[in-house]
Structure 1
Amino acid sequence: MRTPRIYTDSPLAEGTAAALDDNAAHHVGRVLRMQPGQQLRLFNGDGNDYTATILSAGKKQVEIEVAGQTPNTTESPLDIVLGQSLSKGDRMDYAVQKAVEMGVTRIVPLNTEHCDVKLKGDWEDKRLRHWQSVAISAAEQCGRARVPEIAPVMALNEWFDHTESCDLRLVLHHRTEQSLGSMNRPARIALMIGPEGGLSADEISAAESAGFLPVALGPRVLRTETAPVAAIALCQWLWGDIGG
């Protein structure tokens, strides 16, 4: 049986016992139905992976003993903040999942003019928790050391302010001839992705006025859930840890 890899926000240290947080305990105890004596691989975002043995597994609490600690070197040196316009159902889930797999640092859902989703109040909180769960599952599966944060939904003016510290800010726009390969190596990137209906001319103009550079990924128009995967992969190839 493959040893499950689980994220927990509990403190972990080699040679100590710990109780998993509620979400991790639910996954281990109720979903996987693991038993005392079985092995786990754990990570909590501190840059290490931990081997652990289950000491007790109840319906609400799982206690483990940490046997070993190994540095996790899967994080990219390139810091990518993704601004992803809101989209319905599986499209947003797909964008979050694949962006995490490709090494994005943070994901910011954006409320743009042509979005087909409008979130408010409790429904927004529920979707943010869901997307964070998607990010956790993706990080567990792909072996990442850290789970990217899903930020609260932002309007474009908030997004522009949020990304001021990035040394390269890009808005994907198929009606431009500028390519990623023509740009200097950055350390921190902000990527802005439009919704299924595309960004409006006013939104693109506002982004450019805020310091975003329009960039095209090729001659074809990509769907909103495909664009971030393609863009992040190219950025990682050019400046991150994929191209070597």
Structure 2
Amino acid sequence: MKSVNFLLAIVLLALASSLASAYDPSPLQDFCVAVDDTKTAIFVNGKFCKDPTLATPDDFTFSGLNIPTDTNNFLGQNATQLTVDQFPGLNTLGITLARVDYAPGGVNPPHIHPRGTELLLIQKGTIFAGFVDSNNTLFSKILYPGDVIVFPLAMNHFQVNIGKTDGVAFASFNSQNPGVITLANSIFGTNPPIDPYALARAFQLDVNVVKELQAKF
């Protein structure tokens, strides 16, 4: 009887091990095409790791998020995103930080982060922000310094500085490479362009208006 129980325990442990090893890691890039030829396998889901004995304090620190970015553009908004590419010490830690600057009336246009949930802290300004869920319900609020809003993973969200002074916010993400897809760019600025007749029908616009929008991007 003891031998049967021991054998059953071994089987259950083996099954648990196989289930654990079958778990897929979260993606850290848009796609990862499998290859059989290792000579062409140059990308990994993340970054290669430095020899720990060669790490320095500079690998784990970053300076510059106190510096405002230039908002003199058609959106009146700019961001400094601190990903693993700029901050190597973030590798495998699943976290990212960004500074967002807004001119008065500046807009961070509707966009999504396909690989990360965002937590936005308002430091300065009066920011109207919100996101849209899969039922097309808008969750929005006017935010003031010290206020925080969360944008769930891959939800379409935006911010507008409705105040008369510059705005500043800091965003954190639960991914070292959350990615960003700005909806207007991904619709009207693709390469090659999406068929304008398809977009005209989808958005109920005149095809010439769609072509004008595509030309802007």
Query: TM-score over 0.5 for the alignment?
Result: no
| Bigger fraction of residues in helix | 1
Q: Normalised by the size of structure 2, how large is the TM-score? A: 0.26
Which protein has the larger Cα radius of gyration, Structure 1 or Structure 2? 2
